[in-house]
């Protein structure tokens, strides 16, 4: 298992730039997908640097999100007619992240208002964009909810409340588990600092997830030279079948 460690030092109030500032350090910004890749854990931790004492009032809360590349998704509804299941309605969900995880320092609804959630698209439901559903489709909103439900069951979407540790309103840390079947591409980690439900500061940094070695070669070959890739796969299958047949014949003879 590979481990990506991100060191993020953030600020509480960006408006007070003279008193507080953002300091960022990233020890590794790439996850390599190899033949034995079985998932990864991203460790994210940071600190709030201040020139003045901690402000009075509601405590500082932290929300961390990690999102994979977003793509359109066609969702179809199946209904049973005449004893068989058939596709009926379909809706194109404009954009849905291939992976999306949220970690919070307290219950999500307690530390951010719905208005701020809508503005920054933080929750899983807000991260999915579905504006092209035709009004003639019954229950069009259910299709976007189906994407969330299916990917939650697959471990690709998750919200982990009370998993960000905040010490003295200054230091915070958390970890995000990433599954083995990651989609290749540019991922984005975002950190939000909130007080009284309002976002007071945010920061984001990219994470590059790529296949390497033989996996990268085969991936590129399958897309750039599909004919050669298909012929090579056929040769390998024939060779494997012939080798297995020969091995069994030799075992029977002995």
Residue 105: is it exposed, middle or buried by C-beta count within 10 angstroms (0-12/13-18/19+)?
buried
Q: Are residues 61 and 157 in the same domain?
A: yes
Residue 166 clears pLDDT 80, i.e. is over it: yes
Structure tokens of 61?
């809360």
Q: Are residues 152 and 254 in the same domain?
A: no
Is there a domain that residue 240 lies in? Answer: yes
Q: What is the domain count for the chain?
A: 2
Lowest-confidence range among 1-10, 58-67, 71-80, 121-130? 1-10
Is there a domain that residue 29 lies in? Answer: yes
Is there a domain that residue 74 lies in? Answer: no
- If pLDDT is split at 50, 70 and 90, which confidence band does 30 have? low
Which are the contacts of 217, defined by CB distance < 8 A and separation ≥ 6?
none
Please tell me the pTM assigned to this model.
0.72
Q: Are residues 137 and 198 in the same domain?
A: yes
Q: How high is the pLDDT of residue 130?
A: 66
Range of the domain at 227: 213-254
Is there a domain that residue 79 lies in? Answer: no
Q: Are residues 248 and 186 in the same domain?
A: no
Q: Are residues 204 and 117 in the same domain?
A: yes
Q: How high is the pLDDT of residue 19?
A: 40
Q: Are residues 112 and 31 in the same domain?
A: yes
Q: Are residues 40 and 52 in the same domain?
A: yes
Q: How high is the pLDDT of residue 16?
A: 41
Residue 222 clears pLDDT 80, i.e. is over it: no
Q: How high is the pLDDT of residue 20?
A: 43
Mean pLDDT value of segment 96-117? 94
Is there a domain that residue 172 lies in? Answer: yes
Q: How high is the pLDDT of residue 27?
A: 44
Q: How high is the pLDDT of residue 113?
A: 96
Is there a domain that residue 60 lies in? Answer: yes
**Distances, alpha carbon 99 to alpha carbons 38, 121, 174, in Å:** 16, 15, 18
HEC sequence for the chain: CEEEEEEEEECCCCCCCCCCCCEEEECCCEEEECCCCCCEEEEEEEEECCCCCCCCCCCCEEEEEEECCEEEEEEEEEEEECCEEEEEEEEEEEEEECCEEEEECCCHHHHCCHHHHHHHCCCHHHHCECCCCCCCCCCCHHHHHHHHHHHHHCCCEEEECCCCEEECCCEEEEEEEECCCCCCEEEEEEEEEEECCEEEEEEEEEEEEEECCHHHHHHHHHHHCHHHHHHHHHHHHHHHHHHHHHHHHHHHHC
Mean pLDDT, the chain, rounded, equals 76
Of residues 74 and 133, the one with the higher pLDDT is: 74
Is there a domain that residue 87 lies in? Answer: no
Is there a domain that residue 247 lies in? Answer: yes
């Amino acid at each position: 298992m590979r481990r990506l460690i991100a060191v993020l030092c953030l600020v509480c109030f960006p408006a007070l730039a003279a008193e507080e500032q953002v300091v960022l350090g990233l020890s590794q910004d790439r996850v390599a997908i190899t033949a034995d890749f079985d998932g990864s854990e991203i460790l994210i931790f940071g600190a709030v640097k201040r020139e003045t004492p901690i402000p009075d009032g509601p405590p500082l809360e932290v929300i961390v999100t990690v999102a994979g590349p977003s793509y359109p998704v066609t969702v179809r509804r199946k209904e049973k007619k005449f004893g068989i299941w058939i596709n009926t309605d379909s809706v194109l969900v404009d954009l849905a992240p291939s992976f999306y995880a949220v970690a919070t320092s307290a219950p999500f609804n307690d530390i951010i208002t719905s208005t701020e959630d809508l503005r920054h698209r933080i929750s899983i439901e807000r991260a999915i964009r579905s504006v092209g559903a035709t009004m003639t489709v019954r229950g069009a909103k259910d299709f976007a909810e189906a994407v969330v439900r299916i990917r939650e069951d697959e471990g690709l979407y998750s919200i982990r409340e009370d998993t960000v540790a905040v010490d003295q309103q200054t230091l915070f840390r958390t970890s995000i588990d990433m599954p083995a079947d990651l989609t290749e591409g540019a991922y984005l980690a975002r950190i939000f600092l909130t007080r009284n439900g309002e976002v007071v500061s945010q920061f984001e940094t990219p994470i590059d997830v790529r296949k390497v070695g033989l996996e990268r070669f085969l991936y590129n070959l399958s897309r750039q030279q599909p004919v050669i890739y298909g012929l090579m796969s056929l040769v390998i299958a024939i060779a494997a079948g012939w080798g297995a047949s020969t091995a069994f014949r030799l075992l029977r003879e002995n």
